[in-house]
Amino acid sequence: MTNRSIKVWCLVHKWTSLICTLFMLLLCLTGLPLIFHDEIDHLFEEDRLPPMPADTPLKNLDEAVAAALAAYPGERGLFLSFDVDRPVVNVTTGPTAGASRKEMHISAIDRRTTQIVGDLNDESGFMHVMLRLHVDLFAGLPGELFLGFMGFLLVVATVSGVVVYAPFMRKLRFGTVRTTRSARLKWLDLHNLLGIVTLMWVGVVGLTGVINTLSVPLVAYWRSDQLAAMIAPYKDKPVPERFVSLDAAVRTAMAAAPGTRPQFVAFPGVRFSSNHHYAVWLKGATPATNRILTPALIDAETGALTEMRSMPWYMLALRLSQPLHFGDYGGLPLKLLWAALDLAAIVILGSGLYLWIVRRRTSVETRLKDLDGAGTLRAGAAE
C-alpha cells in the first residue's frame, strides 16, 4: 500500500469516526438495557393473570376484541398480536383505520376470561425512553434515517480502521498493549485491539441497524409492490359493510399453512392489510422459522383465503436483521455476550474520541515518512 493511499484511508477513518462517534455512543448506551428488555419488563411487570387449570379452554378471538372495544367505545379494531408464552392477546383499537399512534389504545386480554389484564398505553417509562432514543431520537422517520446514516458511517469507519491497522501495527505482535509507554499510546493499542477483536460483531450490528432504520420505506415499497398485486382483483370493489369472524379468518389462514402459528393480525384498512382483508401474519413453529413471516389475506366479507405469498428478500432481510441487531434469539447466554461486546464498543468509541482530543500535532504526512518503500514500519514508527 502506498503512502498516499494510507493517507487517504487515515482521513476516511478519522472523519467518519468523528462524525458518528457521539451518536454511536448514545446507541450503545441505550442499546445495553434494550438487550435485556424481556428480563427488565418481567422484573417490573405485575402478573395479573389469575391462576387457572392448564386445560382451561380459550375464548375465541372475537370475544377478546369485543372486550377491548368495550373499554374504548366508538373505536374499531386495528391490530391483534399473540403473546408467546401466555394465553394473552394484545388488541389495538383506534377511532379510525388510519389512527395515529397517539390515538391508539392497546389492551392485553386474557383469552381464558376475556378480562383486560394489562394496559400497554403507557409510553413514559424508562424502557420506552431508551427505545425511542435508540430508534429515532424522538424525531420519527427523519430521526430513523439520520441514525441509519450514522450507522453507515460506522461501517465505513470500521472498514477503514482495518485498512489503517495493517501497516501501522505490522511491527507489533497481535494483542500488544504498550502499558509502559505514554497513556496515549496505551489507549491507541487498546483501541486497535478491541476494534479488531469485535470487528465482525460491530459490522453485523452496524449493518443490521442500518437495515432496521429503513423499515418504514421498505414496508411502503412492499405495500406498493407485493400487496398491491395481491389485492388487485379487489381494486374496484366497495369496502364491506360488515366483517366476518376474526377467529374464523385466523383458523382459515392456519389451515392453509399447516405447522405455522399466527403472530399478529392486521384488520381491514390498516397499513399491513387492505380495505377488504384481514391480513393474518403467520410464523413458523420452529426456532429456525419463527422469525420468517408469511401474510395470508382473508376476504373480510366472505372469509375465504384470497392469497398467501412469501415475503420478498428485502422484507426477509428486515425481519432477520432485528434479532441479529439485539441478540435476542439465543436466550440469556447470547444476550450476555451481546452486552459484553456492546461494552467493548463503548470503550472503542470512547478511546477513539480521547485519541482525537489528545492527538499529536504531527501530521499524517510526517508519520508516513517513517514508512519504508515497501510500506512497512521501521522500529518506533508506530509510536
Q: How confident is the model over 151-183, as pLDDT tens digits?
A: 999 999 999 988 887 776 677 777 677 777 788
Q: What is the Cα–Cα distance from 87 to 112, expressed in whole angstroms?
A: 7
Q: For residue 90, how many other CB atoms are within 10 A of its CB? A: 18
Tell me which of 125 and 348 has the higher pLDDT. 348
Q: What is the Cα–Cα distance from 5 to 164, expressed in whole angstroms?
A: 10
- Compute the mean pLDDT over every residue in the chain, rounded to the nearest whole number: 87
Give, in degrees to the nearest 5, the angle at Cα 294 between 271 and 229. 55
Q: What is the Cα–Cα distance from 383 to 375, expressed in whole angstroms?
A: 16
pTM: 0.84
Determine the 3-state secondary structure of 308 from DSSP. strand
Predicted local distance difference test score (pLDDT) of residue 383: 35
Q: What is the Cα–Cα distance from 295 to 262, expressed in whole angstroms?
A: 10
E strands present in 113-188 = 116-119
What mean pLDDT do residues 372-376 have?
40
pLDDT cut 70: percent of the chain above it: 91
Specify the residue for cell string 421498505. Answer: 218
Phi/psi at 31 (5° precision): -70, -25
Answer yes or no: is pLDDT of 303 > 80: yes
Give, in degrees to the nearest 5, the angle at Cα 142 between 138 and 148. 95
Burial of 185-203, coded b for 16+ CB within 10 Å and e otherwise, reads bebbbbbbbbbbebeebbe
pLDDT band, residue 374 (cuts 50/70/90): very low
Chain CA centroid to CA 146, Å: 15
Tell me which of 90 and 176 has the higher pLDDT. 90
Predicted local distance difference test score (pLDDT) of residue 363: 52
Q: What is the Cα–Cα distance from 315 to 33, expressed in whole angstroms?
A: 26
Cα-Cα-Cα-Cα dihedral of 22, 28, 34, 36, to 10°? Answer: -150
Predicted local distance difference test score (pLDDT) of residue 57: 93
Q: What is the Cα–Cα distance from 90 to 117, expressed in whole angstroms?
A: 10
Q: What is the Cα–Cα distance from 87 to 67, expressed in whole angstroms?
A: 15
Answer yes or no: is pLDDT of 48 > 80: no
Q: What is the Cα–Cα distance from 361 to 22, expressed in whole angstroms?
A: 23
Answer yes or no: is pLDDT of 379 > 70: no
What mean pLDDT do residues 348-356 have?
91
Predicted local distance difference test score (pLDDT) of residue 111: 95
Determine the 3-state secondary structure of 196 from DSSP. helix
Q: In this structure, what DSSP letter does residue 48 have? A: -
Tell me which of 185 and 31 has the higher pLDDT. 31
Half-sphere exposure of 382 (CA within 13 A, CB side): 23
Tell me which of 364 and 156 has the higher pLDDT. 156
Sheet containing 277-284: order of strands: 116-119, 105-110, 88-94, 76-82, 260-266, 277-284, 293-299, 305-308
pLDDT band, residue 361 (cuts 50/70/90): low
Out of 47-56, 65-74, 333-342, 345-354, pick the least confident. 47-56
pLDDT band, residue 113 (cuts 50/70/90): very high
Out of 39-53, 79-93, 124-138, 361-375, pick the least confident. 361-375
Predicted local distance difference test score (pLDDT) of residue 235: 82
Tell me which of 33 and 124 has the higher pLDDT. 33
Predicted local distance difference test score (pLDDT) of residue 196: 87
Judged on CB neighbours under 10 Å (0-12, 13-18, 19+), 86 is: middle
Out of 183-197, 221-235, 262-276, pick the least confident. 183-197
